Amino acid sequence: MTEVVLLERPAEGVVLLRINRPEARNALNIEVRKLLAKHLAEVSEDTTTRAVVVTGNDKAFAAGADIKEMADAGTIEMHQRGAHKLWRTIAGCSKPVIAAVNGYALGGGCEIAMTCDIIVAGESARFGQPEVKIGIIPGGGGTQRLTRAIGKYKAMKYVLTGDLFTAKEAFEMGLVSEVVPDPEVEGRAIDLARQLAALPPLALQLAKEAVLAGMEAPLSTALALETKSIQILFSSQDQKEGMRAFIEKRKPKFIGH
């Protein structure tokens, strides 16, 4: 049986995770979610991986949850599936994660993209949280992450109507980092990942932690975390190497220590 999530290594220090259910527009069944969580947990601990790209295919990043798999489920069964734990694992990757979005990123697909740190979208990509149209609400963080990304009133419009929005609209609202021509999406995401992979891993990790934790904390607490994080980095070999290389006008070589 073909793996529903493929792991590729397109560049040194870069892992690409490809959702691979083209017959179902990459719908997120429980197997896809488990494999994404498994791979992202593993790369978090893998010192040779410095950045991750998550993508689908040219028709769909992921067109939502697998409705056939959940249509007849009850409350207890949904709880026992533990999908909420998998979402936390996916969002908890310590490495920078880039979503490369072509086609549809709907429902759970939009939520997967929003767990990433950077979103590169093709011009014809479409985003949305259409769960209300089938009698439920977003359950993988959509009501919270979308609101934090684009604000209450825009988020309310899309969560309550289930309407889709374009990559251009997503960019203008602050949900998408870059919009590029459709054929360039994956290559651009890999180039960004390669750029990140050349930077000091500890600095990237602490920068990511500071941003994410700071979003949920008072400004004074977030600033204290930022201060402690930069102070910690002055004990790293990469800080010494980076500053020496700057002074000596040469390219630094970061080792992650």
- Comparing C-alpha atoms, which of 19, 36, 43, 203 is closest to residue 105? 19
Catalytic residue (one of 125, 131, 210, 242)? 131
Q: Residue 147 class from Cβ within 10 Å (0-12 exposed, 13-18 middle, 19+ buried)? A: middle
Active site residue 217: no
Catalytic residue (one of 51, 65, 91, 155)? 65
CA distances to 28, 71, 133, 164 from 161, in Å = 22, 21, 8, 9
Active site residue 131: yes
- Comparing C-alpha atoms, which of 126, 124, 128 is closest to residue 162? 128
Catalytic residue (one of 108, 122, 141, 142)? 108
φ, ψ at 248 (rounded to 5°): -85, 0
Give the relative orientation of helices 83-91 and 108-115 as an angle to the nearest 10 degrees.
30
What are the strands of the beta sheet with 178-180, ordered from one edge? 5-11, 14-19, 51-55, 97-101, 118-122, 178-180
Catalytic residue (one of 62, 63, 109, 111)? 111
Cα(107)–Cα(112) distance, integer angstroms = 9
Give the relative orientation of helices 219-233 and 201-215 as an angle to the nearest 10 degrees.
170
Which strand (E) or helix (H) includes residue 91?
Answer: helix 83-91
Catalytic residues: 65, 108, 111, 131
